Structure 1
């Protein structure tokens, strides 16, 4: 009897587990509330409830990361005005194993608040939220949810003015602080290096002996000179930290973070870096109005703390033509991280500038060990200009990737970098001169060594035009599949050395596999060649999809089956291209509006296979019947191979279903 009961409960558990796993994952529920601040101001509150083990991403995430949560409020009627940005809870900043990066997300629940100012009486406000949810092993495709905020009196609760930001009480505060501190340390270190780079420019470096000599001569005692120099360095730090604080106050702690993944922001940043690079290369001088320097310089004779402060301010203004591009780049990059990053960034930058003045004032004898000012300072400036020029195209590439315009594909990007660093190598070898260069009868050993290093880097990049992975600069160029040619410039041969002829509506996918991105076209071709089909539900931003394609599919036996015995149909659920208006519809399964190609394939996956995670592989026959159970993410090569072999064998034996 006991064994019978035990068997019954075991069966019941397995049955329930199978039922649960067969359901479509829908781990998030959205609800809305409104709160009244004043007669004309309200808070629109969107609440997300998450199932255990799932998390929702914040509104700002790193590049090449998950899809951020975003809100669009329908204010087309003109009855209300959006005030500020949508605020969110503190959340968690931890290492995400799916995307392999530090990212901010929410567990259990999340609250988003948007302040509005009502101009006319209204009842409802409509909004659209786009989001992505993941667990530790998989992500669901990006979803859109229509939200309705009711502004009738009986649904509105009074709230104290200014209670816009909520706090996530479930977030371990210590863990958040630890993650944030690691990010701030990185910002500080990079800004510190940027400060040292600025120190070695012709606007700053010559100021060291001049300033130190001033303090040692004007001070009655050595101790007094050291004190004044330390105060001078401290005021330099204060000036730049105040600048970082102003940026944070004006733009907000998180607003520039949202811009960092925005196409317009990337284009503006591209233009800024080009502008800064031209200044460094000598096209023009980037200077503040001379009247500013004159007025500040007149205050330096006042003596005491005020005089020292104005000396530090004079340094910041006079050196702006060299420090401006570096400060501008660091500020925008740091501000894109949100929070205190701009302040910490300016602290690191100014500390690197201030330290030499304080140290050399304390130990004047060290001045004898400094190299003399000369043409090498302008060389540092020009090298920085070439680096700014190279980095500028990364931001242009980001915009192109988001829009999928294919205007700056991998080969084009690499060609630009090869030309840029090739020109830098010729400059270092003295074959190219720029406007502010001094006569160069010979080059130093250090300059020769740097030139050889840059030339070696150029040679290293050249094979990338023919498909080399270029791991040194991984993350800067577009991915290998975002290329003009799958085999590199001027090469149309396959892996085996034979030309690949593509069927109609097909293209080359991972590993040069013939791939269809349209279900109907792929099925038609499968019937023509009489082969079973593998439906590959995937995504452009799907990390686990790339892992399968790069670590499992290349295995010889698996690749042979995919290449010779199956027709591959890859359906991208995050394809943002809009369907024609006539082809848009409301899903019978989810009730959501299907607007894009990605929405269409996601709805197809849910409707036909009751699943919506990627990657998701389904083997089907020519009528669309399954040839076995579908396969999710599985890095086990043997398991995946057995699954493929079984499906192909079922097809050959004439089985349509299990």
Structure 2
């Protein structure tokens, strides 16, 4: 079990995920009325908590849903207006007026009469969706109605051709394939949060506040119950109650802050600084300086309710466990909530479910099989060792949040070498502790080192040695999500670290163009100024790749460190496109002449560089998450559909090739 504790460190790096808000999915179908009449049906599937506005709304209200059908060749005529469902009409808190809108699903029907043989009708829908706190920018989606085949055509299923150069055979890859990959990455992020939380729950079991409660609680249920079946039933109810309590906590965090707002917090400077301090306090508590406890009056009140018996009494017994064990579980729960909250969505709920499931399982299992209690190790000093190890992990994780704040503000205080040096110091000290060279306040005398403690010490020692070359530029892929990027460093290449790839960028051996810099360690020439990058692309005759990224974006770092170095991808980035990296969380102020009014928030000013790029991404590309990649031509028009986090290097390469090929046509 002790090996699980260290595994937490390695699995947390998998928990980052990207999230694109796309609350409405459109599909089309056709109903044949006669040989010359067809009904064009547009169906909108609307995500939970979002609503789509009707075709007619009051003045100064939201953008209405509008359908345009392309009849430039005059092959059909519209019979009447586009019909819509009943919907709902209520007071909208966002626009403060009575507005009709649709929830769940909405269907729109347009009758047409064809005057010549046609196979399909094309058009588009412009619409706006909101929830109770925010609105998405007006969006246009192309629609296609197949008249002959009479089957549904989803607007997001357009197949695009991907090709490398003129000698290569085009590779067909659908946009759905890319969306599926992005969705898979999101699901993996949620699964990794669940897995981390589940392991954290087992770690919490091994603390002095929880572990001794297992035999005590199981014995209570087996002795107080009329028979074995009743004892098992009560223990299961007890375990379910534990899960309910912690899941309610995760739901409260999501409900208070909002699913989408949580994700935005991850780049907020104050959020990161506050939670750095919070995690340091948790760590110091675990190391034995003091204990974080809830008021005794809470425990007494809850404990008195536990005597009532029945389901209510069992529930309050579970609540009493959560309160009494808070000094050990509180820091772990707090860390999980901080980490999962920064991912947004339902991540806090998933995290609390995984954590509570790991705690609840032993109570139910040992109640069902009481003989297993004999196999449990006795309580002792090893429980405090578990707390101390968790304290060191908390301390290491805390510096990730401080690093995020430093990156966003571009202070260059906690650069890559400093961050890695701190981690080496933290885990190096943990090695001395595990080998018995350091003792902390609540430790028992250590006459000898157990095999388990020695094994864990060797694992931590190996990890510490692994990090040392990172001081001289090694990439450290195992922990790529934690340290600052390699270009945010005193010496990006370092002593003894060779540059990646064998392809030469334009101007690699000469003077870089104005506004350009080299991204270490790959030596990709990049611009952070949009206008200068576009001007240079026109000069050298190459397409432009916009990289909407963030200093505190975990998945951005994973793409840059794990996908971009692939030789075929790196060659394109260095030779075939002009890269413009736009950091949406850059908190440096705009020049006085560049401060303008926000188009998304009337009355507000765009004061920071990152706000400018964030608003540009939202308005022009209808996306608000990072990483987000767009390939455009010299007229600043999209060559292919943009992609987000795409960890499959082959798919990413094919997407790049498609954009380059379309530019050359």
Same fold (TM over 0.5): yes
* Inter-partner Cα distance in structure 2 for 1:405 and 1:596: 15
The residue aligned with 2:292 is 286
- 1:578–1:596: 8 Å Cα contact kept in structure 2? yes
Q: Which residue of 2 aligns with 1:551?
A: 567
Q: Please tell me whether the aligned partners of residues 300 and 308 of structure 1 are also in contact (alpha carbons under 8 angstroms).
A: yes
Number of the residue aligned with 2:592: 581
Equivalent residue number for residue 387 of structure 2: 381
What is the aligned partner in structure 2 of residue 113 from structure 1? 130
Q: Does structure 2 retain, via aligned residues, the 8 Å contact 1:203–1:322? A: yes
Q: Is 1:427 aligned to residue 443 of structure 2?
A: no
TM-score by length of 1: 0.58
Change (3 A) 1:581 1:377: same
Asked if the contact 1:263–1:399 (Cα under 8 Å) also holds between the matched residues in 2, the reply is yes
C-alpha distance in structure 1 between counterparts of 2:609 and 2:308, whole Å: 69
- Residue 461 in structure 1 maps to residue 467 in structure 2: yes
1:155-174 equivalent positions in 2, closer than 5 A: none
Q: Is the 8 A contact 1:212 1:229 kept in 2?
A: yes
1:323 lines up with 2:329 in the alignment: yes
Secondary structure of the 1:194 match is helix
Unpaired runs of at least 5, structure 2: 1-52, 70-92, 106-123, 142-155, 162-175, 503-508, 550-555, 598-604, 621-629, 641-653
Q: Which residue of 2 aligns with 1:609?
A: 634
Q: Distance in 2 between matches of 1:130 and 1:467?
A: 45
Aligned-residue offset at 1:136: 9.7
1:212-235 C-alpha deviation (Å, 9 max, x unpaired): 222233334333322332222232
2:417 to 411, 414, 418: 411
Q: 2:218 corresponds to which residue?
A: 212
Do the aligned partners of 1:411 and 1:489 also contact (CA within 8 Å) in 2? no
Where in structure 1 are there 5+ consecutive unaligned residues? 1-30, 37-41, 53-79, 92-106, 118-126, 139-169, 526-531, 563-567, 587-592, 616-631, 644-658
Distance 2:136 2:240 in 1: 49
Higher relative contact order (CA 8 A, sep 6+): 2
Q: 1:509·1:515 contact (CA, 8 Å) conserved in 2?
A: yes
Gap change, CA 1:405 and 1:360, over 3 Å in 2: same
2:276 paired residue number = 270
Q: For 2:473 and 2:66, how far apart are their aligned partners in 1?
A: 45
1:480-534: CA deviation from partner (whole Å, max 9, x where unpaired): 22222122279999999xxx99899875544457888789999xx9xxxxxx968
Q: TM-score, normalised by structure 2?
A: 0.58
- Counterpart-to-counterpart distance in 2, 1:454 and 1:520: 48
Per-residue deviation at 1:585?
Answer: 8.9
In structure 2, the residue corresponding to 1:457 is in which secondary structure? Answer: helix
Is this contact kept in 2: 1:517–1:571, CA < 8 A? yes
**RMSD (CA atoms):** 5.6
Paired with 2:353 and 2:225, the residues of 1 have a C-alpha distance of 28
* Matched residues, number: 482
Farther off after superposition, 262-271 or 196-205 = 262-271
Give, in whole Å, the separation in 1 of the partners of 2:525 and 2:578: 9
Match of 1:307? 313
Per-residue CA shift, 1:538-594, capped at 9, x if unaligned? 555467998667635866x998x99xxxxx9975455855553246799xxxxxx99
The 1-side partners of 2:263 and 2:369 are apart by 43
The residue matched to 1:201 in structure 2 has which SS? coil
Name 2:16's counterpart in structure 1. Answer: none
Further displaced range: 340-349 or 462-471? 340-349
Given that 1:46 and 1:113 are in contact with CA atoms closer than 8 Å, whether structure 2 keeps it comes out as no
Q: Taking structure 1 as reference, are residues 473 and 237 closer, same or farther at Cα in structure 2, changes over 3 Å only?
A: same
1:128-180 Cα distance to aligned partner (Å, 9 max, x none) = 96999999999xxxxxxxxxxxxxxxxxxxxxxxxxxxxxxx9xxx9999998
Residue equivalent to 2:404 = 398
Partner of 2:87: none
Structure 2 equivalent of residue 472 of structure 1: 478
